[in-house]
Structure 1
């Protein structure tokens, strides 16, 4: 019985996330606190962040020091990704990097 209840809850949640979302519903969710939040930093400035919000936004980013091509210094290289549910009810997902080759973003749906 418990498995059946869990199944219907998951189906209802998936259906509600796939349906178009009204501006009013988005505004109500934006007032809610983050569902999950992690932040890790070290003494050198390297970091890892991760957030999940009630409105369906996922964000993750990592910054790490890498040596310059000449090996004399270090710079912060950044890589991350985020996803969100658009007003059309579709989930959009993007990944990005920032390093010696500039800032690059890839879009996935």
Structure 2
């Protein structure tokens, strides 16, 4: 039942936000509470979270411990994605990772490295 309700909420938000919104409408929606919020953590600090807000922001992130190359320690590796509507009404999305190889981000609105 929970999955069905979540699906209907997600579809309603997607339908409502499909058309570009005025900056004033986006600002009003930013005052509303999150529509969906899941967060799980363990005793070691690993986590998974997911948020969907009224203005159409979507955030999904996971942090997990991975061993260092020498095997003596662990670091938190993070991977996630987010999307939101800017003040111009356009949808912006990005995916990112952070870990042993540094921070990497990809997004259709970000400049490409040369």
Alignment of 1:22 with 2:22, yes or no, is: yes
Once the two structures are TM-superposed, the CA of residue 108 in structure 1 deviates from its matched residue by 3.6
Tell me how far apart the structure 2 counterparts of residues 61 and 20 of structure 1 sit (CA, whole Å): 26
The Cα of 1:33 is off from its aligned counterpart by: 0.6
CA contact (8 A) 1:18 1:90 kept: no
Say how many residue pairs are matched: 97
Matched, 1:93 2:101: no
Which stretches in structure 1 are left out of the alignment for 5+ residues? 1-9
User: Displacement, 1:59?
Assistant: 0.2
In the alignment, the residues of structure 2 paired with residue 89 and residue 23 of structure 1 have an alpha-carbon distance, to the nearest angstrom, of 7
CA deviation string 1:56-102 (max 9, x = no partner): 00001100000000001101000000011234433221000001110
TM-score (norm 2): 0.76
Which consecutive unaligned segments of at least 5 residues does structure 2 have?
Answer: 1-10, 110-114
- Within 5 Å, give how 1:30-109 maps onto structure 2: 30-108=30-108
Is the contact made by 1:17 and 1:89 (CA closer than 8 Å) also made in structure 2? Answer: no
How much is the aligned-residue C-alpha RMSD, in angstroms? 1.8
Q: CA shift at 1:20, angstroms?
A: 2.9
